[in-house]
């Protein structure tokens, strides 16, 4: 279970004062990722591309301490674990939400991904880990290429969120534009930049 922090005792004290009650505290970065290695691993090991990307997202975020802190209501909560959310098309043709607990072991992460996305698709019931883990939201619009997307500021859902479309092929190169939205109380641009750098490294070095 997460525990509440006193913002004044954290490195986010100034950001908390500046952004918690701001009309729009969300910031969006855009980045184009090079993903030929992800395509290669997906095909060679018969693994889902989006599962691999979710795994790399979790691995890129794990060493950054700001990802374990989240503003919820007026509280600043500290989590011990990270999960990555994926949107699943269920048996009715609608969408449901599924959280996958991040683990450094790819085979274990893949098993959980397949188990819980299959369960969610069949039952049409969301699988939610947000009570115990800081969840990174994702949305894959795989039927079309997009340059990026700006998410909404609901005032309730403050989690970091990543959106992407269909990856692009040009000759033998593959690229994937993404957007990364985060709450400014949780992290600054430098932390977001470090995460996006980590993400590219994890994608390029995945075996």
pLDDT digits (tens, 9 = 90+) for 13-34: 999 999 999 989 999 999 999 9
Choices 3.60.15.10, 3.40.50.2300, 3.50.50.60, 3.30.559.10: CATH for 3-8+26-64+76-205: 3.30.559.10
What is the C-alpha to C-alpha distance for residues 98 and 83, in angstroms, rounded to an integer? 10
Strand-pair partners of 95: 89
Task: Look at the block and give the residue holding tokens 């980045």.
Answer: 31
Structure confidence by residue, pLDDT tens digits, 152-189: 777 778 999 999 999 999 888 999 999 999 999 999 99
Between 83 and 170, residue with greater pLDDT:
83
pTM, rounded to two decimals: 0.96
Structure confidence by residue, pLDDT tens digits, 29-78: 999 999 999 999 999 999 999 999 999 999 999 999 999 999 999 999 99
What confidence score (pLDDT) does residue 62 get?
98
């Amino acid at each position: 279970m997460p525990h509440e922090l006193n913002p004044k005792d954290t490195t986010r004290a100034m950001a908390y004062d500046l952004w918690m009650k701001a009309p729009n505290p969300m910031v969006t970065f855009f980045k184009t990722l090079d993903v030929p290695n992800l395509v290669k691993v997906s095909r060679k090991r018969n693994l889902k591309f989006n599962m691999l990307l979710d795994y790399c997202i979790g691995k890129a975020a794990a060493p950054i301490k700001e990802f374990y802190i989240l503003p919820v209501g007026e509280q600043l909560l500290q989590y011990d674990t990270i999960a990555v959310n994926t949107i699943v098309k269920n048996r009715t043709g609608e969408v449901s939400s599924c959280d996958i607990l991040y683990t450094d072991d790819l085979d274990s992460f893949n098993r959980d991904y397949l188990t819980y996305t299959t369960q969610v698709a069949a039952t049409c019931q969301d699988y939610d880990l947000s009570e115990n883990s800081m969840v990174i939201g994702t949305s894959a619009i795989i039927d079309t290429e997009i340059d990026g997307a700006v998410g909404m500021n609901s005032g309730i859902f403050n989690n970091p969120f990543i959106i992407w479309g269909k990856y692009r092929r040009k000759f033998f190169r593959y690229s994937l534009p993404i957007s990364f939205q985060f709450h400014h109380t949780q992290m600054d641009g430098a932390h977001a930049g470090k995460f996006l750098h980590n993400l590219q490294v994890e994608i390029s070095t995945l075996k």
